[in-house]
Structure 1
Amino acid sequence: MTSVVEIVKGFVSLIVGMGVTIKAFFSPVVTVQYPRKTINITPRFRGHTKLVADSERPERTKCIVCGMCERNCPSKSIKKITGEKLEGEKKKTATQYILDFTTCSQCGICVETCPVDALEFSADYNPVGYKREDFHYDLVKEFEKRRQKL
C-alpha cells in the first residue's frame, strides 16, 4: 500500500513540475544574449563621469579648473586637475583631469557641486581592463577622443 501512495505522490510532483515548466515556457524572455544584444540604457544610468563641451566653444570643455569636485569627492577619486589660461581668455581651461574609477562610488557629488555644470555621467556601462591603471581616466583626453569621433 505504501508503494502505491509513493507512486501517486511522485505522479502529483511530476504534474506540478510540468505545470511550472509550461508556465515558464510561455512567459516572456528576460535574459539578454549579451554581447550579441544589449539593453537600452536608462537616462539616469551612472557610468563614470565625463566632461561636457562648452556651448560657445564646443572644442573646449566647460571645466574652469576650480577644484570644487576634487575637494567635495568623498572617495577622493578625482586625483589631479590642472589647467592653463589661454591668451585672451578670462578663465582657465582644463588640460588634465585624472579620475580613478576604481575608487569612485558614483555618488554624483562631483556632478552636483560643479558650479558650471562641466561634469555629467557617461552611458559607458561596460568598462573593461586588465589592470587598475586601465581605470584611471584622463577626462580631458576622453573628451578629445569623443570630439574627434564627431
Structure 2
Amino acid sequence: MKSYFSELFRGAWSLILGLKVTIKAMFSPIVTCQYPREKLEITPNYRGHIDLVKFADTGTHKCISCGSCMRECPSDCIVVEGEKREGVKGKVCVVFNLDFTKCSLCGACVEVCPTKTLDYSNDYELAGYERANFHFDLLKRVEERE
C-alpha cells in the first residue's frame, strides 16, 4: 500500500513539473516565424546563387564577356558567351547561364569579375521538383528586374 501511494505521488510530481514547463513556454514571447505568412529579414551577408548586378547609371549589367568567371569556377557551372557587335566597343554578353545544381557557392566567380557585375542573390526560397528549375538565365533575370 505504501509503494502504491509513493508511485502515485511521484507520477503526480512528474506531471506537475511537465505542466510547469508547458505553462512557462505558453506565456513566453513568440520567437517562431510563421513562414508562409511572414518573411524573415535577410542578413546582408547571405550568399545565395550569383546574379548579375543591374547598375543604375546604365540600367543594365556591365558584363564584358571576358569569361574569367567561367574559367575560375571549380564546378564548371557557368556558361558565358559574347559577340562583337558593330558600333559597340568590346564584346556584348549574349549568353550567361548558371547551373545552380553544380554550384558550390565558393565565390571565386564574384571575386575574379573585373567589372564587379557579379554579386550574390538574396533569393532564399529556392525549391523545385526538377533540375531544370535550377538552371538560371542571368541575362533574362536582369532584364526582368525592375
After TM superposition, the structure 1 = structure 2 runs for residues 10-25 of structure 1, keeping only pairs within 5 Å, are 10-25=11-26
TM-score normalised over the length of structure 2: 0.90
Q: CA deviation at 1:54?
A: 4.1
Letter in 2 for 1:23: K
Who is 2:89 aligned against?
90
1:48 equivalent in alignment to 2:18: no
Letter in 1 for 2:65: V
Deviation readout 1:60-115 (Å, 9 max, x if unpaired) = 3111111111111122221x201123333322121111100111122211111111
Partners of 1:37 and 1:96 in 2: how far apart? 36
Give the secondary-structure state (helix, strand or coil) at the position aligned to 1:65.
Answer: coil
Partners of 2:5 and 2:57 in 1: how far apart? 84
Q: CA deviation at 1:24?
A: 0.9
> Does the 8 Å CA contact 1:51/1:120 hold for their aligned counterparts?
yes
Who is 1:72 aligned against?
72
> Does the 8 Å CA contact 1:51/1:118 hold for their aligned counterparts?
yes
Who is 2:61 aligned against?
61
Who is 2:80 aligned against?
81
Give the secondary-structure state (helix, strand or coil) at the position aligned to 2:143.
Answer: helix
Who is 2:27 aligned against?
26
Q: CA deviation at 1:56?
A: 4.2
Q: Percent identity?
A: 50
Gaps of 5+ in 1: none
CA RMSD of aligned residues (A): 1.6
Partners of 1:116 and 1:97 in 2: how far apart? 15
Partners of 2:25 and 2:55 in 1: how far apart? 51
TM-score normalised over the length of structure 1: 0.87
Partners of 1:42 and 1:123 in 2: how far apart? 9
